[in-house]
Structure 1
Amino acid sequence: MHHLDRPQGRIAYDLFGAGNGGRLVVCVPGMFDHRASFRFVAERLADAGHRVAVMDLRGHGDSDTTFEAYTNRAAATDAIALAEGLDGRDVVMVGNSFGGAAVTIAALERPDLVAGVVLISPFLRTAPTGPAMKLLQRLLVARPWAPWTVAAFYASLHKGRVPEGHREQKARIVAMLRPADRFRAVRATIFGPNEEVLTAPGLRAKALVMVGEQDPDWADPRAEAEWAASVIDGAVEMVPESGHYAQSQRPDVVAAGVLRLIAEVGADA
């Protein structure tokens, strides 16, 4: 594990293939997730000769809880800083869920740095929620049961194939939510003023949207994937046997998609 120093704290990240000479890939997970969800994809990309940095969000995993902002834009600035700190050029960024919006914002802000984005089940827009759903969301993250209810909800989003090490990953989520300061940071991420990305004028990065065929976050996962792809002018790939976390449920499919995008970026270099 490594740490990236930021103005108000540190971001934890793992680096795979540190000595490789290929593309730098920066992976950003979703809210209430741990960077370990990208470990299988990162290993495959490193085996293919690339460097892969997998970060924790602010207040998540082993990142600090001392930040003032926990938004998707804040995560975008961290991803940019991480890419710069690792001397990345024509970087490919991969984001899941909340992280999908973060890497899109990063690509819009730094077209000179980010050459490609892969969005896995991205939340580029906020799903409409009524009063009952809002109440349910707040009950889900209320103390003292939040570590277990959030972990159970996290598990329910894994429709399809059960990932290797799924029990250990759920244990990471529970452990992450137990300390009061970390719980507050995760809660701030969930209910923060996160930005929607409804248009992407000037986006230069090559783009791919990958959504699990069984993703329970949307009544029609393919329709959401196609909408997201229309925003970023990207291709769509539906991931079989997968829910919301294709990077851990089908790392073989996701890694292959990222490698194809890397090849496209290289062809245009």
Structure 2
Amino acid sequence: MTEFLTVEHGTIAYDVTGTGPLVVLAPGMGNTRDAYRFVTPRLVAAGYRVAVADLRGAGESSAAWPSYTRTDIAGDLVALIRHLGGPAVLVGHSISGGAATIAAAQAPDLITGVVELAPFTKTQTFKLGDLGHAGYRKGTIRLAGTMMGRLSSWTKYLEGAYPGKKPADWTTYLAGVEADLRRPGRMKALQGMTKSTPADAGAQLGNVRCPVLVVEGSLDPDWADPKAEGEAIVAALPAGLGRLAMIEGAGHYPHAQYPDEVVALMLSFLQANARA
């Protein structure tokens, strides 16, 4: 059942299932909380209380917000964890990976561990040679189209972001994404997120005090070298706190393409870092 938390400027929609230590899941931009449809039941079955939130501007959360930065999203997530009693392990995908970094740095009493799935957590560096990587080049072009408000660019981006193996419900899922983004204000929110910079998250990496698991897909088209991106995030964290895991064959959505592998990594991390 959907619940709503009122924060400054709007409401955040979320649902909670299961009992046990708290795990909060935050999707990436352009997604609703059903992005974790393959992950949530597995975590609940393993003995965790799982909260999944819609980001500001997405799903059942309020549509219109003054801004859509990672710092904004972090504040929403911290408010939710505090509302649910905390502490929690916070899982963030893509833009929410950066937001999770900020949340962990700003609320160390509430967050005992962070899992970042294909995160945009640091300012991107561009090299001319990167354009020789076909997937990276196409993804960049399609994200630019999304930034200009073209829904078709986003759906084409998603096609490329799931290289090879797609979820069994892919056609239905993609139709749901498109339907949500056609609702008033939702595409504007997605545009706002595409225009936000990860510099605020990168600036907080050195201030994180809890363990961090970074998960990257080996075929993620958002980076010419996904492994190098993950290694750079780990290197920017305080020594010994970060660990990188690669999912071979996965793109930008490893938790939807390879949920068994991702959940196995998460459960190992949770066993060490989740607190009742």
Cα distance between partner residues in 1 of 2:31 and 2:126: 22
Native 8 Å contact 1:116 1:265 kept in 2: yes
Q: Which residue of 2 aligns with 1:26?
A: 24
Matching of residues 185-200 of structure 1 within 5 Å: 185-194=189-198, 195-198=200-203, 200=205
Matched to 1:30, the amino acid is: G
Which of 220, 228, 244 is matched with 2:225 structurally?
Answer: 220
Q: Which residue of 2 aligns with 1:48?
A: 46
Displacement of 1:231:
2.0
| Count, aligned residues | 261
Q: Which residue of 1 aligns with 2:181?
A: 177
Q: Which residue of 2 aligns with 1:111?
A: 108
Displacement of 1:7:
2.0
Compute the TM-score of the two structures, normalised by the length of structure 2: 0.87
Displacement of 1:160:
3.2
Q: Which residue of 1 aligns with 2:13?
A: 12
Provide Cα deviations, 1:185-224, integer angstroms capped at 9, x if missing partner.
2211211355241552342211111101111111111111
- Structure 1 position 246 matched with structure 2 position 251: no
- Structure 1 position 236 matched with structure 2 position 244: yes
Cα distance between partner residues in 2 of 1:142 and 1:186: 10
Q: Which residue of 2 aligns with 1:124?
A: 121
Matched to 2:69, the amino acid is: T
Going from structure 1 to structure 2, the CA distance change for 1:100 and 1:180 (only over 3 Å counts) comes to same
Query: Secondary structure of 1:52's partner?
Result: strand
Displacement of 1:128:
4.0
Matching of residues 97-176 of structure 1 within 5 Å: 97-128=94-125, 137-142=143-148, 146-176=150-180
Matched to 2:181, the amino acid is: L
Q: CA RMSD in A?
A: 2.3
Identity, in percent, stands at 36
Native 8 Å contact 2:97 2:118 kept in 1: yes
- Structure 1 position 71 matched with structure 2 position 69: yes
Cα distance between partner residues in 2 of 1:136 and 1:211: 20
Native 8 Å contact 2:102 2:204 kept in 1: no
Cα distance between partner residues in 2 of 1:45 and 1:205: 21
Displacement of 1:82:
1.0
Provide runs of 4+ in structure 1 moved above 6 Å: 132-136
Native 8 Å contact 2:247 2:254 kept in 1: yes
Q: Which residue of 1 aligns with 2:134?
A: none
Going from structure 1 to structure 2, the CA distance change for 1:129 and 1:33 (only over 3 Å counts) comes to farther
Select between 258-267 and 241-250 the one with higher mean Cα deviation: 258-267
Residue segments in structure 2 that go unaligned for 5+ positions in a row: 132-136
Cα distance between partner residues in 2 of 1:141 and 1:101: 19
Native 8 Å contact 2:142 2:156 kept in 1: no
Cα distance between partner residues in 1 of 2:172 and 2:269: 30
